[in-house]
Structure 1
Amino acid sequence: MSAGDKDVPGSIDPAWYAGQVEAHGNRREQRAAAEKRAEAARAKQGNGHAGTNSVEIWQPNLFRMEDLMNAPPRCPKFVIDGLLPPGLTFIAGRPKQGKSLVCLGMSLAIANGTPFWGHEVQRGHVLYLDLESAAWRVHSRIEKIGVEVRTGITFCFEWKRGNRDALIALLDARPDIRLVVIDVWRKFALPQPRHVEQYEHEQEELQWLSKLGTERGIAILCVGHTIKNPAMDSDVFVGIGGSSAITGNSDAVMLLRREGEDERVLYTQGRDLGEASWRLRLDDRLTFHCLGDASLCVTREQMDYLRAIAEGAWSQRMLADRMKVTRQAVSQMLDRLTTSGLINSGTGMTVLTLTGEQVLEAQSR
Structure 2
Amino acid sequence: MFNIKRISEMTPSNETPFLVEGLIHRTATMIFGRPKAGKSFVALSAAMALAEGTPWLGREVEARNTLLWALDPGQQDETWQRFTMAGGAEDSRLFITDIRPEDTDQWWADFTDVLISTDVEVLIVDNLSALLGRGSYNSDADARPALGRLQALLDEGIAIVLVHHAGKFNEEQGSQQTPMGSTAIEAWGRHFMQVTDDQELRILRVYGNNTPEKELGIALNFSGEGDDGAFVTLIGEEETVAMSAEHDELVAKARARWESRKDRRKKQGRSPQQKAKKPDDRNRGTDHASQIKNALGSGEWVKQGTITQQVPGNPAVLKSALDSMVQSGELESRTQGRSNLYRLAS
After TM superposition, the score normalised by the length of structure 2 is: 0.58
Q: Which amino acid aligns with 1:115?
A: P
1:257 corresponds, among 180, 196, 199, to 196
Q: Which residue of 2 aligns with 1:219?
A: 159
Q: Which residue of 1 aligns with 2:117?
A: 173
8 Å CA contact retained: 1:210, 1:251: no
CA distance in 1, matches of 2:45, 2:144: 28
Deviation per residue, 1:193-225 (Å, 9 max, x gap): 9xx992244234324424532x34432011111
- SS of residue paired to 2:55: coil
- How many residues align? The count is 227
- Which stretch shifts more, 183-192 or 77-86? 183-192
Q: Which residue of 1 aligns with 2:50?
A: 110
8 Å CA contact retained: 1:122, 1:178: no
Q: Which residue of 1 aligns with 2:76?
A: 135
CA distance in 2, matches of 1:134, 1:244: 28
Instruction: Calculate percent identity across the aligned residue pairs.
Output: 22
Q: How does 1:284-323 map to 2 (within 5 A)?
A: 285-286=223-224, 287-293=231-237
Q: How does 1:5-24 map to 2 (within 5 A)?
A: none
Cα offset, 1:295, TM superposition? 7.4
Inter-CA distance 263–295: structure 2 relative to 1 (3 Å threshold) = farther
Deviation per residue, 1:108-167 (Å, 9 max, x gap): 111111111111223111111111144332222122112333431111123124342243
CA distance in 1, matches of 2:38, 2:90: 23
Structure 2 residue runs of 5 or longer lacking an equivalent are 225-230, 241-346
Q: Which residue of 2 aligns with 1:299?
A: none
Q: Which residue of 1 aligns with 2:40?
A: 100
CA distance in 2, matches of 1:220, 1:237: 21
Inter-CA distance 129–113: structure 2 relative to 1 (3 Å threshold) = same
2:131 corresponds, among 183, 188, 192, to 188
8 Å CA contact retained: 1:178, 1:219: yes
Q: Which amino acid aligns with 1:82?
A: G
CA distance in 1, matches of 2:110, 2:27: 18
Q: Which amino acid aligns with 1:290?
A: L
Q: Which amino acid aligns with 1:107?
A: A
Inter-CA distance 284–243: structure 2 relative to 1 (3 Å threshold) = closer
Structure whose residues are more often helix by fraction: 1
Inter-CA distance 275–236: structure 2 relative to 1 (3 Å threshold) = farther
Inter-CA distance 178–291: structure 2 relative to 1 (3 Å threshold) = farther
Deviation per residue, 1:15-48 (Å, 9 max, x gap): xxxxxxxxxxxxxxxxxxxxxxxxxxxxxxxxxx
Deviation per residue, 1:79-121 (Å, 9 max, x gap): 1122111111111112222111111111111111111111122
After TM superposition, the score normalised by the length of structure 1 is: 0.55
8 Å CA contact retained: 2:48, 2:92: no
Q: Which residue of 1 aligns with 2:218?
A: 280
Structure 1 residue runs of 5 or longer lacking an equivalent are 1-59, 297-365
CA distance in 2, matches of 1:264, 1:225: 16
Q: Which residue of 1 aligns with 2:93?
A: 152
CA distance in 1, matches of 2:80, 2:142: 35
Q: Which residue of 2 aligns with 1:80?
A: 20
8 Å CA contact retained: 2:166, 2:176: no
Q: Which residue of 1 aligns with 2:147?
A: 206
Q: Which residue of 2 aligns with 1:32?
A: none
